[in-house]
Amino acid sequence: MTMARPNGGTEPPRNEAVVLSLDAMGGDKGPQAVVAGLGKFLLDEPEARVLLHGPEDVLAPLVRKLDRVTVVHAPEVVVMTDKPSQVMRRGKDTSMWSAVDAVRDGEAQAIVSCGNTGALMAVSMLRLRKLPGVNRPAIACLWPSLNPTGFNVMLDVGADIRADAEDLLAYSLMGASYARQGLGIQRPRVGLLNVGTEEHKGRQELKDAHELIEVAAPRGSFDFAGFVEGGDIPSDRVDVIVTDGFTGNVALKTGEGTARLISQLLREHLTAGPLGMAAAFLARAQFNRLRTRIDPRRVNGGVFLGLGGTVIKSHGSADATGVAAALSLAHRLGKAGFAARLAARVASSVALAQDSITDGEPTPANGANRVGTAPEER
Task: Please say which residue, 92 or 260, places its beta carbon nearer to a second copy.
Answer: 260
CA atoms within 13 A on the CB side of 141: 26
Question: Does residue 243 interact with a second copy by CB under 8 A?
Answer: yes
Beta bridge partners of 155: 140, 242
Question: Does residue 260 interact with a second copy by CB under 8 A?
Answer: yes
Q: How far is the CB of 283 from a second copy (least distance, A)?
A: 3
363 Cβ contact partners less than 8 Å away, ≥ 6 residues apart: none
Phi, psi values for residue 346, rounded to 5°? -70, -45
Site string for a second copy, 126-165 (x = CB under 8 A): ------------------xxx-----------x--xx---
Question: Does residue 79 interact with a second copy by CB under 8 A?
Answer: no
Task: Please say which residue, 80 or 368, places its beta carbon nearer to a second copy.
Answer: 80
Residues numbered 189 to 208 that lie near a second copy (CB under 8 A) are 193, 195, 202-203
Which is nearest to 209 in space by CA: 233, 248, 173, 181?
173
Question: Does residue 357 interact with a second copy by CB under 8 A?
Answer: no
Q: Which of 266, 351, 357, 371 binds a second copy (CB under 8 A)?
A: 266
CA distance 16 to 75: 30
Question: Does residue 88 interact with a second copy by CB under 8 A?
Answer: no
What number of chain residues touch a second copy (CB under 8 A)?
A: 57
Kind of pairing, strands 302-305 and 310-313?
antiparallel
Question: Does residue 234 interact with a second copy by CB under 8 A?
Answer: yes
Question: Does residue 247 interact with a second copy by CB under 8 A?
Answer: yes
Phi, psi values for residue 130, rounded to 5°? -75, 150
Task: Please say which residue, 91 or 144, places its beta carbon nearer to a second copy.
Answer: 144
Would you mind telling me the total number of residues written for the chain in this entry?
Answer: 378
Which is nearest to 53 in space by CA: 115, 136, 146?
115
Question: Does residue 317 interact with a second copy by CB under 8 A?
Answer: no
Question: Does residue 232 interact with a second copy by CB under 8 A?
Answer: yes
Question: Does residue 261 interact with a second copy by CB under 8 A?
Answer: yes
Sheet of 19-23, strand order: 69-73, 49-54, 19-23, 110-113, 310-313, 302-305, 138-144, 151-155, 240-242, 189-193, 223-228
Question: Does residue 66 interact with a second copy by CB under 8 A?
Answer: no
Residues 35, 39, 40, 44, Cα dihedral to 10°: 140
Give residues in contact with a second copy (CB under 8 A). 144-146, 158, 161-162, 193, 195, 202-203, 229-235, 243, 245-247, 249-262, 264-266, 269-270, 272-273, 275-276, 278-283, 285-287, 289-290, 293-294
